[in-house]
Structure 1
Amino acid sequence: MAEDSHSKSSEEKTVKCHLHDRYLKEFLDDNTIGGINHIFRGRSKVRRLLWALIFIGSIVACITLISISFQTFLEKPTASTITVITQDDEGVSFPSVTICNLNLERNESDMVADTGYLLMNHIFNPDENFHLTGLNSSFLLNSCNAISDSFPASFRNTTLWNSQHPQETLDKLIHFCGFVSGINSAVIPCKDAFKPVLTSAGICYTFNGSNNRIHSTGVRYGLKLILNIQQEERPSFNGKSGVKLIVHDGRDIARPNLYGIDVAPAHAVDVGVRRKASKDETNEADCIDSKELPFFSEYRYSQFACRQNAIVENLATSCDCSIHPDRPSSGPYSSTPHCTFDKGCCVLEQYQTFNPELACPLPCYFPYYEHTASYSSFPNGRYLNYLVEETNMSVDYIKDNFLSINVFVDDLQLTTTITKYTFGVAELLGEIGGQMGLFLGISIISIVEVVVLFLDELKRLFCTKKMREKMQDIENAIELPEIEGTDVEEDIDNKV
């Protein structure tokens, strides 16, 4: 009797260790998670306990490494890559070249030209021209209205743009302009290709290189300029003389107050340029691809173009005039008149107080030109004698006023620097999948199996009899081909 009771109690203990959940049993039979079967169906309790500890340790290690991957993802690491594109035989677009005489026209016998010179310098170059004398925009602004009211109506109605006589000044500034596109190409006169533009340094002149293609590299090809800065008509106001040279993309605004090359008279400069571009594929800089610029619609979006457009829009709104030579063909500014001297005080005040920095984010793609420059004296020898004979000017005048500029392409390739994330969503998912596969043998199928087990348990706990009957009706309505497991096994046995 004692033996029977002892065997009975041991059987009861054994029964308590069995799993009766049908869904969990099916999960253990079919799941692909490594180690689960060893925990619940191991040969001994010690083995099952060891497998449980190994499984828990793997989970901890997996979660730790996944958290590190998440932290790396949230830090958004970036890297820059450089791509080089070689152009075809058709050549590449030549860069735009803008030249600015460092001094605006001044004529003391002409009140319009002389006052226009002073006002334009105050608007565009206040620190450059007046820091030595102690004068500044505030001083001129305080006396501007009184000065303006004393001028006759014919003067007050003269525009700031036309007072500088840009086309006439251009004809005097450019003594020679020639463009050579490649080997065996003829020299194309290009003086008429320069157009006056209003920049942050006043009125300058731009050669739009995008209308010309260059096929050869080297100093023999490209744009050749000989300039006469006319210091007698344009005396230096701040001790400087010469021109500012800016090489830029054809759809970008010249930026003489930000960068450029100063070329003094009696000098020649050879400027070799290479095409570059920067592209940001991240969200860190909050860059944008484009933005409507009513006054600069023909230009590619850039921070500088955006700021200049904001300034002109502010003048159109605050002073009811446009200082930009071109107005939009449609929209609220299409009929805005050009700024006259009567509006000069308002223009000066807005330039002094308006700050467009915050309204202009960086562009995501920005092409530009990198340049190198070498200098030499100019003119000398036979060419100096040639200029003396051609212009009927003295050697001293030519040395004081003439300079030479040669812009050429030294590489036909486009180099683009691309900034992108090095650890994005795809990399994060790859890290997570790798860690889960390494430590737990888990894949997407394994996760689906766990989800199915969870849904089955919810169905068992919460589904009513009526709901189960509806689910069974849906199950019966679906027809799929089936393969009976016993038949398959019999076929295999027969073949064996």
Structure 2
Amino acid sequence: MAEEEDEQSPEREWASGTTLHGPAKVVDGPNLVVRLLWLALFLVSLGIATYLITMSFIDFFSWGTVTDVKLEFTDQLEFPAVTICNFNKFEKDLLCMDQRAVEYLRPLIGNDAICETDNSTSPTPGPTYYPMSLAGITAYTGFQMDRYALKECTWRGETCTWQNFTHVFGEYGNCYVFNQKTSGTPLQQIIPGQGNGLHMVLDVHEAFYTENPATGGSSDVGVKVHIHPQGEPAKMDIQGIPIGPGSHAYIGISQVTYQNEVPPWGLCEDLDLEYYDTYTLTGCLMECMAHWVESECGCTALELPGNLSYCEPQLIVDCVLGVKDQITTGVLACNCPTPCRIQTFDYFVSYAGWPNHIVEVYLGEENNVDMEYMQSNWASIDVFYEELNFEQITQKKAMTPGDLLSGLGGQLGLFVGASVITIMEFVEYLLKRLTYCCRKKKKNKVSASTAQVWTADKVDPLALQKVNMLQETKMYKE
């Protein structure tokens, strides 16, 4: 046989032995026509596979997402926190007990006739002993969640009191949170429907209102109720359900959880907050506002977290309100990305006229008030889960790296029969291709030496031994 047939070229060797479908038929076909048919079929299959693979990469790097909605039922649900604020920041009967407090708050309330005696109240001027600061005055003269304001309270049919509420400062002064996050076990609702959650009857003390709409005060009467997750602060000026006196509000709630993807698929990011354990959009916004107020005004707003002393009333008017307006309009920016996990409570509110004459008998006589007073001052509120289920909305990657690899493997396997083994075969071919020239030169050198030995008149034993050693070395390397 010719020496050229002793060793095939790397290309022919790879084509004949690869697990890739087609190349072996192209090089080993019985005639030219068959080889051309197989070549055409292989190229068409390879083109389709290339197109599908390209589309898979385009889909993957478009970072698309899909939304999965799931409704799950349970035996019990964790009850949310319920924050309650009165629209009135300062109660006239308490505020007017000390004229110094009235003068101190003059920039905020701006009502010169606030302490004039009328038929509804009889203030008794005199010195008080609470701190003459915005926090001290607000805590003492603001809305009090005591037995005079909380006329009735039950949780799952059992009596609760003002001691079950936690005091916080908010945009409306004194606010109170039921089921505030503590180290204990959160309250659970085990039966759906009205009467199995929180029930309250509140006296808003309408006669003691000091709010003046002309100076930015509220013109409403009643309370604001906000339902939110535990650990998330309430921003009551933009959140909450307003409830007026003389009505019974039924607030049916349902829990919704959103799970968002991180970049580049989504936009969510959980930042570390300074004053709150859990990252929430409201908490981030409040910390951002606190930062700008402290930076621009040199003090901490009463309703915001912070470490500086509370802002004085005049400074609130001159600086704090302007800073908040700049944040609202976007002049001062806040970097508050979407949280990766958001828990909210959808609610449906229905109202009924309240009270009826029977309530006047058993509550009115007990508190020494008549129907007219109850309709002008009292509000009944029920907060409850309508059903013991929760909705989970999850943003998912439209194509994960695993999906991409599965698609690539399926397309290559279907059209050209390629696999990981095929890739290793191609790597082996490249190595042989790179070393082919060197091996060919060695072979030519050995062939020339052999011819020289056997064509001589006399065989040289040393030369023959050298040729044999070269051939053995070649066989060992191969």
* TM-score > 0.5, shorter chain as reference: yes
Q: Give the 3 Å change call, closer, same or farther, for CA 287–99 of structure 1 in structure 2.
A: same
Contact 1:159 1:341 in 2 (8 A): no
Provide the rounded CA distance (Å) in 2 between the counterparts of 1:458 and 1:398: 97
Give the aligned partner of residue 70 of structure 2.
Answer: 83
Q: TM-score, normalised by structure 2?
A: 0.76
**Range that drifts further, 449-458 or 192-201:** 192-201
Contact 2:21 2:418 in 1 (8 A): yes
Q: Give the 3 Å change call, closer, same or farther, for CA 423–292 of structure 1 in structure 2.
A: closer
Give RMSD over aligned pairs: 3.4
Give the aligned partner of residue 223 of structure 2.
Answer: 243
Deviation string for 1:444-496 (max 9, x for gaps)? Answer: 1112111110121112246898xxxxxx99x989xxxxxxxxxxxxxxxxxxx
Q: TM-score, normalised by structure 1?
A: 0.73
Deviation string for 1:182-241 (max 9, x for gaps)? Answer: xxxx61323122223233454422112554222222212111111111111115635422
Q: 1:350 aligns with which of 300, 323, 328?
A: 323
Contact 2:259 2:342 in 1 (8 A): yes
Deviation string for 1:381-420 (max 9, x for gaps)? Answer: 2112233212222322221111100111223333211101
Q: Give the 3 Å change call, closer, same or farther, for CA 282–315 of structure 1 in structure 2.
A: closer
Q: Secondary structure at the match of 1:308?
A: helix
> Offset of 1:63 from its aligned partner?
1.2
> Offset of 1:167 from its aligned partner?
7.6
Aligned residue pairs: how many? Answer: 408
Provide the rounded CA distance (Å) in 1 between the counterparts of 2:142 and 2:90: 11
Give the aligned partner of residue 207 of structure 1.
Answer: 178
Deviation string for 1:41-60 (max 9, x for gaps)? Answer: 10110010111111111122
Matches within 5 A, 1:93-492: 93-105=78-90, 107=92, 109=96, 110=99, 112-113=101-102, 116=105, 119=108, 158-165=132-139, 169-171=143-145, 174-181=149-156, 187-208=158-179, 211-234=186-209, 237=213, 239-283=219-263, 284-289=265-270, 291-294=271-274, 296-298=275-277, 300-324=278-302, 333=307, 336-341=308-313, 343-344=315-316, 345-354=318-327, 357-461=333-437
Q: Secondary structure at the match of 2:239?
A: coil
What code does the residue aligned with 1:251 have?
G
What code does the residue aligned with 2:291 have?
E
Gaps of 5+ in 1: 1-11, 122-153, 466-471, 478-496
Provide the rounded CA distance (Å) in 2 between the counterparts of 1:224 and 1:113: 35
Deviation string for 1:352-377 (max 9, x for gaps)? Answer: 33456541111000112121222101
What code does the residue aligned with 2:256 have?
K
What code does the residue aligned with 1:381 have?
H
Provide the rounded CA distance (Å) in 1 between the counterparts of 2:256 and 2:141: 32
Q: Give the 3 Å change call, closer, same or farther, for CA 116–167 of structure 1 in structure 2.
A: closer
Provide the rounded CA distance (Å) in 1 between the counterparts of 2:237 and 2:101: 25
Provide the rounded CA distance (Å) in 1 between the counterparts of 2:288 and 2:65: 32
Q: Secondary structure at the match of 1:286?
A: coil
Provide the rounded CA distance (Å) in 1 between the counterparts of 2:334 and 2:305: 24
Provide the rounded CA distance (Å) in 2 between the counterparts of 1:456 and 1:338: 79
> Offset of 1:286 from its aligned partner?
2.5
Q: Secondary structure at the match of 1:163?
A: helix
Q: Give the 3 Å change call, closer, same or farther, for CA 28–317 of structure 1 in structure 2.
A: same
Identical-pair percentage: 24
**Poorly superposed stretches of 4+, deviation over 6 Å:** 325-328, 462-465
Q: Give the 3 Å change call, closer, same or farther, for CA 455–114 of structure 1 in structure 2.
A: farther
> Offset of 1:327 from its aligned partner?
6.3
> Offset of 1:342 from its aligned partner?
5.7
Q: Give the 3 Å change call, closer, same or farther, for CA 416–322 of structure 1 in structure 2.
A: same
> Offset of 1:117 from its aligned partner?
7.7
